[in-house]
Structure 1
Amino acid sequence: MKKLLMLMALLALMLYSFNAAAFIRLPPIMSSNMVLQQNTKAAIWGWADPSERFIITESWKTETDAVTAMNSGKWVAKISTPPAGGPYTITIKGRANTIVLENIMIGEVWVASGQSNMEYSNNQQIKDELPTAKNNNIRFFMVAKATSEYPQETAEGQWVTCDAESLKKFSAVGYFFGKKLNKELNVPVGLIESAWSGTPVELWEPNEAFGNDPEVKEAATKVKDVTYRPNKPALIYNAMIYPISNYTIAGTIWYQGEGNTVRAKTYERMFTGMIGAWRKQFQQDFPFYYVQIAPYTYESTYEAALLMEQQTRSLSYPKTGMVVITDLVDNIKSQHPINKIDVGLRLANLALADTYKKPIPAEDYKNPLYKSMEVNKGKIILNIDNAANGFMLKGTEKQPTEFLIAGGDQNFVPATDIKLDKGRIIVSSKEVPNPVAVRFSFTNTGMSNLFNKEGLPVTPFRTDNWVVTPVKIAAN
Structure 2
Amino acid sequence: MNIRLICFSLLSFIFMSVCPGAFANIRLPAVLSDNMVLQQQSTVKLWGWSSPGEKIFITTSWSTMIDSTIASGDAKWNMAVKTPAAGGPYTITFKGSNTVVLSNVMIGEVWVCSGQSNMEWSSLNGLPQIDAELPNSANINIRFFHIPKTTALTPQEDCAATWKECNPETLKGFSAVAYYFGKQLQQQLNVPVGLINTSWGGTPAEVWTPEQLVENDPELKAAAAKIGTTNWWPNAPGRAYNAMIAPITSFNIAGAIWYQGESNAATASTYKQLMTTLIDSWRKDWKKDFPFYYVQIAPFAYGNKNIGALLREAQAQTLTHPNTGMAVITDLVDDVKNIHPHNKKDVGARLAAWALAETYYKEDFPYKSPVYRNMEVNKNKVTVYFDNAPKGLIIKEGEKKATEFYIAGDDQHFLPADVKIDGDHVILSNKQIKNPVAVRFAFSNTAIANIFSKEAGPGGQGLPVTPFRTDKWEVDTGKVE
TM interval, short-chain normalised = over 0.9
Normalised by the size of structure 1, how large is the TM-score? 0.95
Does structure 1 residue 219 correspond to structure 2 residue 223? Answer: yes
Give 1:80's match in structure 2, choosing from 79, 82, 92: 82
Does structure 1 residue 158 correspond to structure 2 residue 162? Answer: yes
Give 1:311's match in structure 2, choosing from 312, 315, 327: 315
CA distance in 2, matches of 1:230, 1:49: 36
Does structure 1 residue 67 correspond to structure 2 residue 81? Answer: no
Q: Which residue of 2 aligns with 1:460?
A: 467
CA distance in 2, matches of 1:177, 1:222: 33
Q: Which residue of 1 aligns with 2:458?
A: none
- Higher mean Cα deviation, 421-430 or 266-275? 421-430
Letter in 1 for 2:447: G
Give 1:352's match in structure 2, choosing from 349, 356, 364: 356
Q: Which residue of 1 aligns with 2:434?
A: 433
Measure how far apart 1:422 and its partner are.
2.4
Query: 1:239-286 deviations in whole A, cap 9, x for unaligned?
Result: 100111001000001000001011111100001110000000111110
For the aligned residue pairs, the C-alpha RMSD in angstroms reads 1.9
Identity percentage of aligned residues: 53
The answer to whether the 8 A contact 2:21-2:54 is kept is no
Measure how far apart 1:19 and its partner are.
4.0
Measure how far apart 1:25 and its partner are.
1.2
Letter in 1 for 2:336: I
The answer to whether the 8 A contact 2:20-2:53 is kept is no
CA distance in 2, matches of 1:468, 1:2: 81
Query: 1:408-428 deviations in whole A, cap 9, x for unaligned?
Result: 111101112x22122212211
Letter in 1 for 2:156: Q
CA distance in 1, matches of 2:425, 2:335: 31
Measure how far apart 1:449 and its partner are.
1.2
Query: 1:210-253 deviations in whole A, cap 9, x for unaligned?
Result: 38542222111222110001121001101100111001000001
Does structure 1 residue 422 correspond to structure 2 residue 423? Answer: yes
CA distance in 2, matches of 1:14, 1:157: 38
Measure how far apart 1:395 and its partner are.
4.8
Cα distance change of structure 1 residues 20 and 297 upon mapping to structure 2, 3 Å threshold: farther
Q: Which residue of 1 aligns with 2:476?
A: 469
Q: Which runs of 5+ in 1 are unaligned?
A: none
Cα distance change of structure 1 residues 437 and 93 upon mapping to structure 2, 3 Å threshold: same
The answer to whether the 8 A contact 2:56-2:94 is kept is yes
Q: Which residue of 1 aligns with 2:389?
A: 387
CA distance in 2, matches of 1:237, 1:21: 32
Q: Which residue of 1 aligns with 2:303?
A: 299
Query: 1:47-83 deviations in whole A, cap 9, x for unaligned?
Result: 1222332211000011122212233222221100000
Q: Which residue of 2 aligns with 1:170?
A: 174
Letter in 2 for 1:464: D
**Secondary structure of 2:171 counterpart:** helix
**Secondary structure of 2:170 counterpart:** helix
Q: Which residue of 2 aligns with 1:31?
A: 33
Measure how far apart 1:374 and its partner are.
2.0
Cα distance change of structure 1 residues 87 and 435 upon mapping to structure 2, 3 Å threshold: same
Give 1:378's match in structure 2, choosing from 374, 377, 380: 380
CA distance in 2, matches of 1:173, 1:14: 56
Query: 1:424-451 deviations in whole A, cap 9, x for unaligned?
Result: 1221112111111000000000002111
Q: Which runs of 5+ in 2 are unaligned?
A: 456-461
CA distance in 1, matches of 2:14, 2:411: 83
Q: Which residue of 1 aligns with 2:459?
A: none
**Secondary structure of 1:167 counterpart:** coil
Cα distance change of structure 1 residues 314 and 7 upon mapping to structure 2, 3 Å threshold: same
**Secondary structure of 2:172 counterpart:** helix
Give 1:325's match in structure 2, choosing from 322, 326, 329: 329
Normalised by the size of structure 2, how large is the TM-score? 0.94
Letter in 2 for 1:114: G
Letter in 1 for 2:187: K
CA distance in 2, matches of 1:469, 1:356: 42
CA distance in 1, matches of 2:9, 2:51: 22
Q: Which residue of 2 aligns with 1:120?
A: 121
Letter in 2 for 1:118: M
CA distance in 1, matches of 2:446, 2:14: 68
CA distance in 2, matches of 1:119, 1:338: 12
